[in-house]
Amino acid sequence: MSFLRVSWLVFRKDLTVEVRSFEILATSIFFAVSAVLFFAVAFVQEGRALDGAAPGILWIAVAFAGTLALGRTFERERQAETLQALLLAPADRPAIYVGKLLGIVTLLVTTEVVLLPLIAYLFQAPLFARAGWLAAVLLAGTVGYCAVGTLFAAMLVRVRSRDVLLPVLLYPITIPVIIAGVRATSVLLEPELDVAMIRFWLSLMAAYDVVFITLALWSFEPLMTE
């Protein structure tokens, strides 16, 4: 089977399992929305939001929901003991990684679609004024975040304190991507669009995306071998 075909099948399998129960999507969205509501209570006073709070809150909610979704995706495989089967399949290991990555990116992008109008409304942020740019920024950031997250969540399945260790591993590595995402989103909220700045942060995120995915594809095989 070709690389892309395996990735597609793994992705479709994850999607089918998810659509049957909506377990991860429902819990991640609920978690992200409650986080945003907490922030709204803290940072919106007398109907006025704190300046520049919206981008930070958007990305924090995405990062937290992402951690939750990443942990659950692989926890599900572990409980059903299907990860072993997946790894035993005569398929390229990196292809399995890509399939998993696509599934998690899809989940997070769906969560973001729910979060955006909520944050735009609660924090009076014109998030949809430059929707095209925002989509590019969110996608670049989400891919970078999930590229690292998928690798480590997969490895952590076998480790004792996996719930604690996922953020410990994931956050230091993905700080630059999250910072770039926050900065790029704040640039988009300015009244005047600074295209050079957006390009700068997008290129930074793209650079990290490429490095992260390359490293993950390269190390997934030896890391997943017992």
Return the range that interacts with other proteins (CB under 8 A); candidates 12-20, 40-48, 95-103, 157-165: 157-165
Q: Which is nearer to other proteins, 69 or 178 (CB)?
A: 178
Q: What is the DSSP letter of 45?
A: E
Q: Does 24 bind other proteins (CB under 8 A)?
A: no
Cα separation, 149 vs 151, whole angstroms = 5
Q: Are 108 and 65 in contact (CB under 8 A)?
A: yes
Q: Does 74 bind other proteins (CB under 8 A)?
A: no
Q: Does 60 bind other proteins (CB under 8 A)?
A: no
Cα separation, 3 vs 31, whole angstroms = 34
Nearest approach in angstroms of CB 223 to other proteins is: 5
Q: Are 39 and 53 in contact (CB under 8 A)?
A: yes
Return the range that interacts with other proteins (CB under 8 A); candidates 53-61, 94-102, 111-119, 167-175: 167-175
Q: Does 169 bind other proteins (CB under 8 A)?
A: yes
Question: Site map for other proteins, 189-208, x if CB under 8 A?
Answer: -----------x---x--x-
- One DSSP character per residue, 80-148 reads TTHHHHHHHSSS-HHHHHHHHHHHHHHHHHHHHHHHHHHHHHHTT--TTTTHHHHHHHHHHHHHHHHHH
Q: Does 173 bind other proteins (CB under 8 A)?
A: yes
Q: Does 161 bind other proteins (CB under 8 A)?
A: yes
Q: Which is nearer to other proteins, 22 or 218 (CB)?
A: 218
Residue-wise over 150-181: b if at least 16 C-beta within 10 A, else e?
bbbbbbbeeeeebeeebbebbeebbeebbbbb
Summarize as ranges the residues that interact with other proteins (CB under 8 A). 148, 151-152, 155-156, 158-161, 164-165, 168-169, 171-173, 175-176, 179, 200, 204, 207, 211-212, 215, 219, 222-223
